[in-house]
Each structure stands twice: as structure tokens, then as C-alpha cells.
Structure 1
Amino acid sequence: MKNNEDITKNVNGSEKSNASKIDAIKELIFGENIQEYNEEFETLKKDILNKKQELQELISTVESELLQSIDSLSTDINIRVTELENTVNDKLDDLGDKKADRKLLSELFIKLGEKIAE
């Protein structure tokens, strides 16, 4: 015969262990809630993973657009600096053999600096 602590008699006389009764009670009380919680957690987990994927795609798109904008800006700046260098060289060539006017040169370099700063 089984241990008295592990076995109890039902009202109708059948024997059940205490552990199985406790498990049955837990299932009755919490079973449905636990299943609902598990379903909610799974739904939230899927939603978070979907949002993560969307964010990664958005980050990739923004990164690509930024790199393209930086490249375009770099090209534009290089063109402007080249144009400014050509302008300064043209002005210096116009001076030719004349005495270099310091005021004119300083104004040209100031304008060049301002253009570069833009």
C-alpha cells in the first residue's frame, strides 16, 4: 500500500496523490490565465521582432540616403573650391607684372575664406 501522506481518499472512495490534486487545482485556477499570458507574450514578442525589423530597414535606408547626401555635398564643395581657386588665379594673372596690391589680395582671400566657410 502507498504512503498515507501521498494518498487521500475522495468522497466516492477513489485514491489520488496530493501532488496530482495540487496540480489539478493549479490548472483549474491558473491554467487558463497562464495560457492567455503565454499567448500575449508570444504576440508581443512577434510584434517586437517585426518592429525591430522595420527599424533596421529604416536605419539602412536613412544610412544609404545620408551617404549619398554626403557624397553629393562633397562633390559640390570640391567644385566650389576649384572655382574659387580658378577665380583667384585669374585675378592674379590679371595683375600680371603689376605690383601686387595687398588690399586687393587680402579682399580676394577673405572672399575665398567666406566661400569655403559656406
Structure 2
Amino acid sequence: MVLCGERFIGAWQFIFLMITIFFAITVSRSITKKGSVWIGILVFFVLYYLLGWMNHLLFGTEDLWIGPAATIQFGNETSVNVSPGECASAWGGLAFEIVIAGLIVYATAYLIDRKVEV
């Protein structure tokens, strides 16, 4: 049984990771100075830190994807208890990341098209 769209959220985590990696690569390639690779790596880690911090401010959790969205108990009976608040906060964080991903894709396309030096 898929709870709170676990497969969708797992796929989204991968897609969002790839988008941020591509953005960091684009930033590093748009810089023509020495050490641009290190700047790209720094951009990746700063971006992930800032997004985690913003998720914490907006939704009150360190990382929305860590921690159970449901409690499963095995025994004579199998029961699944899903907390609606946990699913709602996960979807809220997902919506936030979709908006941020759109902005990152736009910035990546802008840097590629304009070949802007950062």
C-alpha cells in the first residue's frame, strides 16, 4: 500500500536532486574564472541548506521526507494509521519544492541561453 504518495514523493526527490545538480553545473560552467568547479559545488550545498532552512521555517520540520508518514503494526491484525497532518505537511513541502524547481529550471535556462557570467 502506498501511503501519502510515497512512490511519487520518492520519484520527486530524485527529480529535484537532478534539477539542483544541473543548476550547480550550469552555474559552474557560466563562470570563466579559476575554481569554477568549486563554486558550483558550493552552490549545490548552499542551495540545499537554504531550501532545508526555508522548509523548516515554513513547515516546522527539519526535513519533510524524514520520519514516518504512517504507523504500521504487525501482529494478529495489520493496521495502518496515517496522520492527515503529516501527509498535508509533506504535500505542502512538495508544492514548495515544485515552485522552487520551476524557478531553478528557469534560472538554468536563462544562464544557458544568455551565457551570463556570474
The answer to whether the superposition gives a TM-score over 0.5 is: no
Answer 1 or 2: which has greater helix percent: 1
Question: TM-score, normalised to structure 2's length?
Answer: 0.32
- Indicate the structure (1 or 2) with the bigger Cα radius of gyration: 1
Q: Which has the higher contact order (CA 8 A, sep 6+)?
A: 2
Question: TM-score, normalised to structure 1's length?
Answer: 0.32
